[in-house]
């Protein structure tokens, strides 16, 4: 059983005790699941190679998939990197703390196991108060990928973490549902430019409002597979990721066309991931993952609905494709990987 550390907002002393206990475990090289505003993270001391190795073992994560390092104050970034480009300083000033990770040239202080063998490291400053307080109390930067088995949908509540990680970690800090529901935007900064490696709640349009549209580009792998042999510079760039056991196919088209396609493909084990506006299709079980016009609601519900599909026994899932703009780009990116890039246009 996982040691559960409950936070009681009505009891500040008990809350601080839970945070201190989590911080002590992390300093000792243990694994602790912590909440953030994006998803729950499987945290360890980012500067302790043995502790970081345990993250890869617990998740069954490939060693070449880099981890994101979490800090609580901007000053903590300086020992971790060899340089901070002007674009990175501007973006940090605007979007930290928050759901944005910056990939920067790493210093020798960051172990190669943490960076997945790369000479760069992704760094983020969470805005969620509990995450901030645990990092500050631990006194060390924390590597914290999503607290799930590698390749499965990321956990947005402590219940899902316990399902995947029971017996694999020392403790979990229980602090309700995550506000955002999808992993952070990942940006590589160089000079005055930014390259989006993974979309998230901080959108390319948001970045452009700071740097100028001409200085923001989106990596092709966001909507297409990595080229053969190409190394992932960021978490979430692998071909298949965030996937339930069911075979997922994205269906792009109007609500009417989606419903017609679904009706024509009804059968045992077939489920629909639809929008609220799509309504029910007679004879086909379905779950909604938000409103068609509200990509933030889609982002918040996406991973939980994918996990529910497994609990329902779904074998085939036809997901109504979101519009890939703004936060919708992040939703579409996660669905593409959950579907291993199976897409049908109707």
**pLDDT tens readout for residues 6-50:** 887 788 999 999 999 999 999 999 999 999 999 999 999 999 999
Q: Which pLDDT does position 279 carry in this prediction?
A: 93
Select from 291, 247, 252 the least CA-distant residue to 267: 247
Q: What's the mean pLDDT when you consider all of the chain?
A: 94
**At 275, is the pLDDT very low, low, confident or very high (cuts 50, 70, 90)?**
very high
Q: Which pLDDT does position 310 carry in this prediction?
A: 94
CB contact set of 63 (below 8 Å; sequence gap of 6+): 56, 113, 116, 117
State mean pLDDT over 270-279: 97
Q: How far apart are CA 305 and CA 46, in angstroms?
A: 31
The radius of gyration of the chain from alpha carbons, rounded to an integer in Å, stands at: 20
pTM of the model: 0.94
Q: Which pLDDT does position 297 carry in this prediction?
A: 97
Q: Which pLDDT does position 243 carry in this prediction?
A: 84
Decide which of 3.30.9.10, 1.10.3720.10, 3.40.50.11030, 3.30.1050.10 is the CATH code for 247-345: 3.40.50.11030
Identify the helix (H) or strand (E) that includes residue 319. Answer: strand 316-320
Strand order across the 286-288 sheet? 286-288, 270-274, 316-320, 247-252, 343-345
Select from 203, 198, 212 the least CA-distant residue to 242: 198
Token pair 């403790």 is found at 171
Question: C-alpha distances in angstroms, 169 versus 16, 22, 25, 229?
Answer: 21, 12, 11, 32
CB contact set of 271 (below 8 Å; sequence gap of 6+): 246, 284, 285, 286, 287, 309, 312, 314, 316, 317, 318
Question: C-alpha distances in angstroms, 285 versus 4, 59, 281, 318?
Answer: 35, 31, 8, 11
**pLDDT tens readout for residues 104-123:** 999 999 999 999 999 999 99
**pLDDT tens readout for residues 141-176:** 999 999 999 889 999 999 999 999 999 999 999 999
* The two three-digit tokens of residue 282, written as one number: 């007679």
Q: Under the phi-then-psi rule, with left for phi > 0, alpha for psi from -120 to 50, and beta for the rest, what region is 222? A: alpha
Q: How far apart are CA 22 and CA 17, in angstroms?
A: 9
Strands 316-320 and 247-252: parallel
Q: Which pLDDT does position 2 carry in this prediction?
A: 81
Burial of residue 164 (number of CB atoms within 10 Å: 0-12, 13-18, 19+): buried
The angle at the Cα of 265, spanning 252 to 154, to the nearest 5 degrees, equals 55
Which position has the higher pLDDT, 275 or 234? 275
Q: How far apart are CA 292 and CA 300, in angstroms?
A: 13
Token pair 């979990």 is found at 172
Q: Which pLDDT does position 229 carry in this prediction?
A: 66
**At 64, is the pLDDT very low, low, confident or very high (cuts 50, 70, 90)?**
confident
**At 3, is the pLDDT very low, low, confident or very high (cuts 50, 70, 90)?**
confident
CB contact set of 243 (below 8 Å; sequence gap of 6+): 151, 152, 153, 306, 337, 338, 339, 340
Q: How far apart are CA 283 and CA 259, in angstroms?
A: 12
Residue 159 per-residue DSSP state: H
Q: How far apart are CA 129 and CA 141, in angstroms?
A: 16
Going from N- to C-terminal start, the domains of the chain cover: 3-186, 247-345
Which position has the higher pLDDT, 151 or 187? 187
Top-level CATH class of 3-186? alpha beta
Q: How far apart are CA 342 and CA 250, in angstroms?
A: 6
């Amino acid at each position: 059983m996982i040691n559960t550390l409950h936070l009681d907002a009505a009891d500040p002393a008990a809350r601080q005790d839970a945070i201190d206990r989590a911080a002590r475990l992390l300093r000792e090289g243990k694994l602790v699941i912590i909440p953030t505003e994006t998803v729950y993270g499987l945290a360890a001391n980012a500067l302790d190679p043995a502790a970081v190795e345990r993250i890869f073992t617990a998740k069954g994560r490939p060693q070449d998939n880099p981890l994101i390092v979490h800090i609580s104050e901007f000053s903590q970034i300086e020992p971790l990197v060899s340089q901070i480009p002007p674009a990175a300083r501007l973006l940090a000033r605007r979007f930290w703390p928050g759901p944005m990770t910056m990939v920067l040239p790493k210093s020798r202080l960051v172990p190669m196991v943490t960076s997945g063998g790369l000479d760069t490291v992704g760094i983020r400053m969470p805005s969620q108060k509990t995450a901030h307080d645990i990092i500050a109390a631990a006194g060390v930067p924390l590597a914290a990928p999503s607290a799930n088995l590698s390749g499965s949908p990321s956990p947005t509540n402590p219940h899902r973490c316990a399902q995947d990680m029971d017996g694999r970690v020392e403790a979990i800090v229980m602090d309700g549902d995550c506000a955002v529901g999808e992993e952070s935007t990942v940006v590589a900064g160089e000079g005055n430019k930014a390259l989006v490696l993974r979309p998230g709640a901080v959108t390319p349009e948001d970045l452009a409002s700071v740097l100028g549209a001409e200085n923001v580009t989106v990596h092709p792998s966001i909507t297409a597979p990595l080229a053969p042999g190409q190394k992932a510079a960021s978490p979430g760039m692998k071909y298949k990721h965030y996937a339930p056991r069911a075979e997922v196919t994205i269906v792009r088209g109007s609500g009417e066309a989606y419903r017609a396609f679904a009706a024509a493909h009804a059968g045992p084990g077939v489920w629909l991931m639809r929008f609220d506006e799509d309504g029910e299709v007679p004879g086909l079980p379905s779950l909604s993952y938000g409103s068609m016009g509200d990509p933030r609601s889609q982002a918040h519900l996406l991973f939980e609905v994918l996990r529910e599909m497994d609990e329902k026994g779904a074998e085939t899932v036809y997901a109504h494709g979101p519009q890939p703009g703004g936060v919708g780009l992040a939703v579409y990116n996660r669905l593409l990987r959950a579907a291993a890039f199976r897409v049908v246009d109707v």
